[in-house]
Structure 1
Amino acid sequence: MLHEIDLSRADLNLLVLFEAVYAERHVGRAAARLNLSTSAVSHGLGRLRRLLNDPLFLKTPKGVVPTERAEALAPGINEALRQVRSVVARAEPFDPATTRRRMVIGAPDGVSAVFLDRLMLDIARFAPGLDLGIRQLLPLAEDEAGSPWRGAFRDLETRGVDIAVIPSEEGPLRFESRVLYQEDFVLVLRRDHPFLARPTIEGYCGIGHLVVSHSGDPHGFVDTLLARHGLARRVALTVPNFMFACAIVGETDLICAVPRRFAERFAPGFGVAMTEPLLPLGEFRLTAFVPRSAMADAGLTWMLDKLGAAARGSSFVMAASDPA
């Protein structure tokens, strides 16, 4: 049997001390940051060195430098403290005006580009001490395991994200869902593109296409739709996000299908025109998911409400990042 570490010997404050010294690279500055004496920090480092069986920080003329083991430990310690702080924050009454909490929203590429500014305005107004992280969620290959967004639900369960926003209305029953908005697709191309003067399905299929695909796979849902009508297109380029797509389209002869509200928000800035697809490309809903067990967290429900308000209050919202 593996030897189990006796956690009763560990003091969480020692990890906080490690975090401060690692960040400051100086015992005196770390002491000031923690409102402790230099001797108290030095004593704490001694205890931590004995606990972890490593010097951790080596003295230099300008302060200290972390050892190789300290460098390896730092990410895990930072994540552990983040999780502990999150648990403590959830245990305390949530007051937006005074909170110092950090929350993470996971979403497909480009989602933050269309409602983040509105959300940040609300945070600045009502919760100025709240910090926000945006984590990119990517679809996984579809297989017998189920939805391409199963990774998003795994991230929710492991608390890698607090809220996941994905283009799916269905999720496991252990998650609460809230539909934020409905979206469809339009075509974007440079403003003087010949296709705009004579839009035909033959011309559309004959143009070089740009597909947004995180994996580089050139086959998207548009290809499936065209195949149903006995048609095909040439995908000349794939790029990993819609913002990059608009930049490229504005300077080339390529055409790309992008979410309508994203195009409304960003296409003009890239000198890109919008036009309706010649074949309906379908509609879908973007849904925010949170674990049902987390709905008792007043801070999380507050953020969920603000996220919904940002999506509803802006005429520019983004949708999925599946290959198109």
Structure 2
Amino acid sequence: MLNQIDLSRTDLNLLVLFEAVVEERHVGQAAGRLSLSPSAVSHGLRRLRRLFNDPLFLRTPKGVVPTERALDLAGPVAEILARARVVIGAAAPFDAAISTRRFTVGAPDGVSAVFLLPLLAELRRHGPGIDISVRQILPPRAVTTTDSVWEPVLADIEARAMDIAVVPADKVPARFTSRMLYEEDFVITMRAGHPFGEDPTLDAFCRMQHLVVSLTGDAHGFVDDALAQQGRSRRVVLTVPNFMVALAIVADTDLIAALPKTLVAMHAQRFNVVSMEAPLPLVHSHIRAIASKAALMDAGVAWLFEMLGRAVTSQISLAGNRLVPPHQTLPRR
């Protein structure tokens, strides 16, 4: 039988210190985050090195770098602390007005750019001490169906790697709770004055140079699937890993891109881009907030789930006034 480690001889606060140094990569910044002195953090690191029999962090001119052992420990330690926080947080009634919890929301940036500002506004009013971490998620390849592409995200929700996911999803397993936040279409987006705006035909579309948002750099997307059904193809000049970068590049080049309509409506004026309906059918999706039913037993997660829905409802109401009517471009500045 294996000998069990006597946890009574181990200060579990060292794991909190370890997490802070891993995330900050700097002893002084970790000390500030934990309201400790740098010397106290250094002392804790010495104890951690003895505990794990490894240097854990190597000093550099700009801070510290974790060793391979520290990187291996980072995931399990984060999971242990996350579970401990849930258990302790559930022990007392959740009060958003005084809570200092941090929640993690996963979403593609084309979705988080829609809900983040209104969500932060709700938090300022109702939960000023609550912090949010946003985890960028995209499918490994653009697809025409959302039935299975988000299965890895569902696994992450169950593992509590994130509290809530906001993704395009048509079907959600019964062990999850979902809330439809808004419907999304894709529009063709380009810089103001782009020649495609004057000749938005399918032939012209295929002649244009295109940008695709792809996490892996795969240049084949759902637009290519739609074109192939009509015996057409296009040239993808560039792939980028997120939608906001796509907006910035489209604004200053002759590239065009199929981007989420709500995202473009919200940020078109800032980037000076215009958009129009595509000359062929593209993906229509339902953006849903998803959480596990087990997680929603946590009053804090349930509260955030409700706040997220409220924030998106207000944002979509405002964005609706800026959406591009079919076959029209946004006004040029």
Smaller-chain TM-score range?
0.7 to 0.9
In the aligned structure 2, how far is the partner of 1:215 from the partner of 1:55? 34
Unaligned runs of 5+ in 1: 59-64, 318-324
In the aligned structure 2, how far is the partner of 1:250 from the partner of 1:301? 39
Partner of 1:206: 207
In the aligned structure 1, how far is the partner of 2:235 from the partner of 2:73? 48
Partner of 1:194: 195
Aligned length: 300
Unaligned runs of 5+ in 2: 59-63, 321-333
Aligned-residue offset at 1:67:
9.8
Partner of 1:314: 315
Letter in 2 for 1:7: L
Letter in 2 for 1:110: G
In the aligned structure 2, how far is the partner of 1:125 from the partner of 1:84? 28
Partner of 1:321: none
Q: Normalising by structure 2, report the TM-score.
A: 0.77
Contact 1:97 1:128 in 2 (8 A): yes
Letter in 2 for 1:147: S
Contact 1:97 1:127 in 2 (8 A): yes
Q: How does 1:223-238 map to 2 (within 5 A)?
A: 223-238=224-239
Contact 2:105 2:163 in 1 (8 A): yes
Aligned-residue offset at 1:33:
4.0
Using the aligned pairs only, state the percent identity: 48
In the aligned structure 2, how far is the partner of 1:244 from the partner of 1:267? 13
Q: Normalising by structure 1, report the TM-score.
A: 0.79
In the aligned structure 2, how far is the partner of 1:108 from the partner of 1:5? 42
Deviations 1:154-174 (A, max 9, x none): 111111100011111212221
Of structures 1 and 2, the larger Rg is shown by 1
Deviations 1:152-210 (A, max 9, x none): 11111111100011111212221111111101111111211122122221111111111
In the aligned structure 2, how far is the partner of 1:70 from the partner of 1:147? 35
Contact 1:183 1:285 in 2 (8 A): yes
Partner of 1:292: 293
Aligned-residue offset at 1:303:
0.4
Task: Give the 3-state SS of the residue equivalent to 2:279 in structure 1.
Answer: coil
Letter in 1 for 2:111: V
Partner of 1:122: 122
Indicate how the Cα distance of structure 1 residues 98 and 223 shifts in structure 2: closer, same or farther if over 3 A, else same: same
Q: How does 1:1-324 map to 2 (within 5 A)?
A: 3-16=3-16, 25=27, 33=35, 52=52, 75=74, 77=77, 80-140=80-140, 147-315=148-316, 316=319
In the aligned structure 2, how far is the partner of 1:168 from the partner of 1:74? 33
In the aligned structure 2, how far is the partner of 1:69 from the partner of 1:213? 29
